[in-house]
């Protein structure tokens, strides 16, 4: 059995960040990834001859910042604004003076805006959230203006695909990574794959090992500690295990029977599966005029709260909230067609193929027309990936571990009750999940491993840290 100081299960952006941190500290690390690619839900793949980001669309500038400050990796990116269609106009994020002017331009009175701004300090107080049952309810009490509320819902991600721009400290949740800043939207030039690829290069350059197309089947325990990792290709001995597979998979499938007590198992078991997204990869005519400072557009549906209820009940809402990312609007000169990725929520469970078809049709016609009149007629091609096709072809589930509208969502610490088993990635984050937070959690997991190594007297680790 090959022996590693740390085995990282999964080469998602969280697992790679953990492995990069450990290899930098001189730790003998192996990353085992089930798919042929790194990056997990933050990567780019070729679909119909063009390259698309298949998961994260809105990447905050904190991601390239972490690469730079923690690993010294420079990743080329471009800042942009994200346009939210409200009524006939766009209100944009990052939230700043321009947003306020745009809110006013879309019919909100300065009086309403001032009143809202005066009340926003409430968002920083935990006691404020304690008085409400949901983020939506808390927001509703800040303003009665429909447009501002709509914007608030979007910013909080309550309505689904979030622009992830508000600091997580706004939510009534706390934890190790609660202070993580997501940052303003950036487009990673050439696609999100560069984030993961640069970490893979870093890991290899620092003597780390990566194995792709290898699936971890089980974690074996000995004396209440993780002892080895069994894959479909063999078995590895590990001093520490960091799992980037989601916490349910890690605890309930990979490590059964494990040394878990019943309450912990029940808690993990009670975690509701997150919602998945439908991804549509499309091209449209480059002559179609888009406001070119925007890299992505957000079209809110009817009512965020109602949309979640309908999705939870297993149905599509009348009007889906959707996000349209158009990277070629920022890299326009290099392409023949506009390449865009559109995402909207899939209902919980499975739906009839006909219902999916109808909803896609609605989004691609009425939805696109509401976003930009004339756009639906300029679409050249589109390919739909519902969650099952996504999983079949990419080997991943398009889950978004988003903050639910409810405020009592349980989150876990990366440290499990087994001293040498850690979970990293967005399924354990105590608040808003995203690419930068998955990276932060990986780094945090790695730091905890190094600390434990130090405590338990692994001198090699402590002197190289």
List interacting residues with ligand FAD (CB under 6 A). Answer: 9-15, 32-35, 40-42, 55-59, 164, 215-216, 244-245, 249, 277, 279, 343, 395-396, 398-400, 425-426, 433-435, 438
Distance CA 425, CA 247 (A): 9
Tokens of 148: 């501002």
Q: Which is nearer to ligand FAD, 37 or 284 (CB)?
A: 37
Q: Which is nearer to ligand FAD, 33 or 197 (CB)?
A: 33
Q: Which is nearer to ligand FAD, 15 or 208 (CB)?
A: 15
Minimum distance from residue 337 beta carbon to ligand FAD (Å): 22
- Cβ distance 268 to 251 under 8 Å? yes
Minimum distance from residue 59 beta carbon to ligand FAD (Å): 6
Tokens of 223: 């004396």
Q: For residue 134, what are the CA distances in angstroms to 129, 141, 167, 304, 313? A: 8, 11, 17, 12, 18
Q: What sign results for the dihedral spanned by CA atoms 461, 463, 464, 465?
A: positive
Q: Which of 205, 196, 202, 238 is nearest to 220 (CA)?
A: 238
Minimum distance from residue 342 beta carbon to ligand FAD (Å): 11
Minimum distance from residue 66 beta carbon to ligand FAD (Å): 12
Tokens of 229: 């990792």
Distance CA 145, CA 131 (A): 21
Tokens of 358: 């109808």
Distance CA 1, CA 186 (A): 43
Q: Which is nearer to ligand FAD, 147 or 363 (CB)?
A: 363
- Cβ distance 374 to 288 under 8 Å? yes
Minimum distance from residue 135 beta carbon to ligand FAD (Å): 18
Minimum distance from residue 287 beta carbon to ligand FAD (Å): 27
Q: Which is nearer to ligand FAD, 41 or 106 (CB)?
A: 41
Q: Which is nearer to ligand FAD, 286 or 387 (CB)?
A: 387
Minimum distance from residue 173 beta carbon to ligand FAD (Å): 16
Q: Which is nearer to ligand FAD, 35 or 106 (CB)?
A: 35
Indicate the residue whose CB is closest to ligand FAD.
12
Q: At residue 322, what are phi and psi to the nearest 5 degrees? A: -140, 160
Q: Which is nearer to ligand FAD, 71 or 399 (CB)?
A: 399
DSSP 166-228: S-GGGSS--STTTT----SEEEETT-THHHHHHHHHHHHHTT-EEE-S--EEEEEEETTEEEE
Burial of 225 (0-12, 13-18, 19+ CB in 10 A): middle
Q: Summarize the chain as % helix, strand, coil (round to 5).
A: 35, 25, 40
Minimum distance from residue 425 beta carbon to ligand FAD (Å): 3
């Amino acid at each position: 059995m090959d022996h590693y100081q740390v085995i990282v299960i999964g080469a998602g952006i969280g697992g790679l960040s953990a492995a990069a941190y450990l290899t930098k500290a001189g730790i003998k690390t192996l990353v085992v990834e089930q798919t042929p690619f790194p990056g997990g839900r933050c990567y780019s793949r070729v679909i119909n001859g063009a390259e698309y980001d298949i998961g994260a669309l809105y990447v905050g500038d904190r991601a390239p910042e972490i690469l730079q400050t923690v690993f010294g990796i420079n990743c080329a990116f471009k800042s942009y604004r994200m346009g939210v269609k409200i009524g006939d106009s766009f209100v944009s994020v990052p939230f700043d003076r321009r947003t306020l002017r745009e809110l006013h331009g879309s019919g909100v009175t300065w009086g309403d805006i001032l009143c809202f701004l005066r009340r926003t300090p409430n968002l920083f107080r935990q006691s404020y959230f304690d008085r409400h049952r949901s983020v939506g309810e808390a927001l509703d009490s800040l303003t009665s203006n429909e447009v501002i509320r709509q914007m608030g819902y979007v910013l909080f991600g309550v309505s689904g695909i979030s622009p992830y721009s508000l600091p997580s400290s706004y939510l009534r949740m706390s934890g190790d990574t609660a202070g993580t800043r997501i940052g303003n939207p950036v487009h990673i030039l050439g696609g999100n794959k560069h984030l993961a690829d640069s970490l893979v290069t870093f890991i290899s350059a620092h003597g780390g090992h990566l194995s792709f197309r290898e699936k971890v089947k089980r974690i074996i325990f000995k004396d209440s500690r993780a002892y080895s990792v069994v894959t479909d290709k063999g078995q590895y001995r590990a001093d520490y295990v960091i799992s980037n597979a989601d916490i349910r998979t890690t605890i309930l499938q990979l490590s059964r029977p494990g040394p878990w007590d019943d309450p912990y198992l029940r808690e993990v078991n009670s975690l509701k599966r997150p919602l998945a997204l439908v991804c549509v990869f499309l091209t449209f005519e480059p002559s179609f005029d888009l406001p070119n400072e925007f890299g992505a557009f957000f079209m809110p549906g009817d009512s965020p709260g109602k949309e979640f209820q309908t999705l939870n009940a297993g149905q599509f809402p009348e009007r889906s909230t959707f996000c349209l990312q158009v990277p070629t609007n920022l890299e326009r000169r290099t392409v023949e067609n506009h390449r865009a990725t559109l995402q909207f929520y899939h209902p919980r469970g499975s739906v009839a193929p006909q219902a999916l078809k109808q909803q896609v049709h609605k989004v691609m016609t009425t939805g696109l027309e509401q976003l930009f009149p004339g756009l639906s007629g300029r679409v050249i091609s589109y390919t739909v990936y519902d969650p099952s096709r996504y999983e079949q072809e990419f080997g991943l589930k398009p889950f978004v571990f988003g903050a639910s509208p409810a405020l009592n969502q349980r989150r876990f610490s990366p440290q499990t009750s087994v001293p040498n088993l850690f979970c990293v990635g967005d399924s354990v984050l105590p608040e808003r999940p995203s690419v930068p937070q998955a990276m932060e959690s990986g780094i945090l997991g790695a730091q905890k491993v190094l600390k434990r190594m130090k405590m338990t007297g692994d001198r090699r680790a402590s002197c190289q840290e």
